[in-house]
Amino acid sequence: MATAIGAAAAAIHYDPQWWRGAVIYQIYPRSFRDTTGDGIGDLAGIVEGLDYIAGLGVDGIWISPFFTSPMRDFGYDVADYCGIDPSFGSFADFDRIIEKAHALGLKVIIDQVYSHTSDEHAWFQESRQDRTNPKADWYVWADPRPDGSPPSNWQSVFGGSAWQWDGPRKQYYLHNFLTSQPDLNVHNIAVQDALLDVARFWLARGVDGFRLDALNFSMHDPELRDNPPSGLPMAQVTRPFDMQVKRYNQSHRDIAVFLERIRATIDEYPGRFTVAEVGGPEPLAEMKAFTQGGKRLDSAYNFDFLYAPRLTAPLVRATLSQWSGDPGEGWPSWAFSNHDAPRAVTRWASDGDYARAARLNLLLLLALRGNPIIYQGEELGLPQGKVAFEDLQDPEAIANWPHTLGRDGARTPMPWQASAPQAGFSRANRTWLKPDPAHAGFAVDTQTSDPVSTLAYAQRILRLRRQFPALVSGDITLLDTPEDIVAFIRQQGENTVLCAFNLGDAPCAWSPPANWQNARLLATQSAVGDGGAMPDMLAPGTGYWAAMTGE
């Protein structure tokens, strides 16, 4: 067994294109597994959970921030890029993750937050002292307007002005997120150099790549021009941030130049992978610019699905059609759920059938051309956790209560044991977020012993996907279908798979192309290895993969 694992690890390590079509499992460490009994998940908990993750059949893990931080934004406010917060453990724990993951054939991707730091970071503490210190221009500082108001009308993601007055400097500093998250001046080459040194630190430590957080916020308009109004009707607005077109506080054209420096640094360590988070209402141009021509990042993902209130065939068709696969085009990644968005089964299971929705989501996500990213608990069919107002931790959820589902409900602790206290996540009497009692019914131990559970389905569908190169890295061709059906063919050489889904609310008749009439089912939303004949009618909320007989 050890020899087989070692061979698998060696094979994946030396393939420079290992990431193309790889399935990545996202770990939110605060909520994954607590080994110390303090109510907070930790790196040792990730070590314990790696066998479970490898058993799913994924190719790698992405670990959300575990760096030194005051945790006002739970790790995305970094106080030391090259430190590990004591609440998560030590470098010895991190090195154990790298060693065990690689032995199991898993790649390890970690977050990098290059847009902003914590206000407790040593860089900011020095920068704010005066206007002449060596790091005076490492953050975005600006004088007030003549009337004392902020330098521009830019709004923070979390509400209110994106500018905060700072007494020591007698200037405003930019913060696109919390006031405790000052924005770095990434136009400054010295800042870029420091960030690239951070990347080298973790690459030398053995990580296999980075997920770059909030990347399009990393550079601003140096002229500090006002953003124009978005014109959104008030019914669609939950914060002032929504009322502007973010033309000048993000998405500067020079970000792409910085990405080429990142790529050159990454290439010092062969076989590494980079994926960018690109938010905003029209992210496609940036996603393509960030991944263009093989000189920048490998992949990017956005919020097309993460915030979609419904999963519809027109949405899937429109999103897939944006990626043609032409030479020089980047490689997309896809996520239906993550730590920032309400869980997909809650958003999309209009009938409350979470198990059906979870399986359909997995069947679709794993069929898309690109890298599927599975968020912890998604393989269990975990719905959005219910968190009472008095138990909320997320500043965004508190600010927008009760108008959004918030982020806390997607971050509640992972249920490991149905009958154990805290669902087996921790032995603490109180955890950083309370587990939702309803989640105990989705626990890993219960589903592991159930051959027809959502977890068992996820394991089988992931194993099946690996058997078909077309589903991993093949091309995609969209087919003509009725409004509520999305269907496409994945092809890699002679290997082809037909995928079809009815995402509407009513049964729909659809016949595949004539040359597919005798194909056999590989999987449906309810079964894997079905082997049955192709259906002429698709029930609502169902789908299938099919292959020609003999494939």
2-118+187-223+246-382, CATH topology level: TIM Barrel (3.20.20)
pLDDT attached to residue 533: 87
pLDDT tens column, 241-294: 999 999 999 999 999 999 999 999 999 999 999 999 998 777 888 999 999 888
Nearest to 462 by CA among 397, 537, 379: 379
Which is it for strands 542-547 and 495-502: parallel, antiparallel or unpaired? Answer: antiparallel
- Helices 189-205, 91-103: axis angle to 10 degrees equals 60
pLDDT tens column, 444-468: 999 999 999 999 999 999 999 999 9
What DSSP designation does 545 have? E
pLDDT over 70 for what percent of the chain?
A: 97
- Exposure string over 365-392, b if 16+ CB within 10 A, otherwise e: bbbbbbbbbbbbbbbbbbbbbbbeeeeb
pLDDT tens column, 131-167: 999 999 999 999 999 999 999 999 999 889 999 999 9
Pair 335, 301: CB distance under 8 Å: yes
Q: 16 pLDDT band (50/70/90 cuts)?
A: confident
Is the pLDDT reported for residue 9 higher than 60?
Answer: no
For the segment(s) 471-547, the CATH number from 1.20.1050.10, 2.60.40.1180, 1.10.486.10, 3.60.15.10 is 2.60.40.1180
Residue whose tokens read 């309810």: 526
**Least confident range of 12-16, 237-241, 514-518, 541-545:** 12-16
Domain positions in the chain are: 2-118+187-223+246-382, 471-547
Which residues carry out catalysis?
213, 268
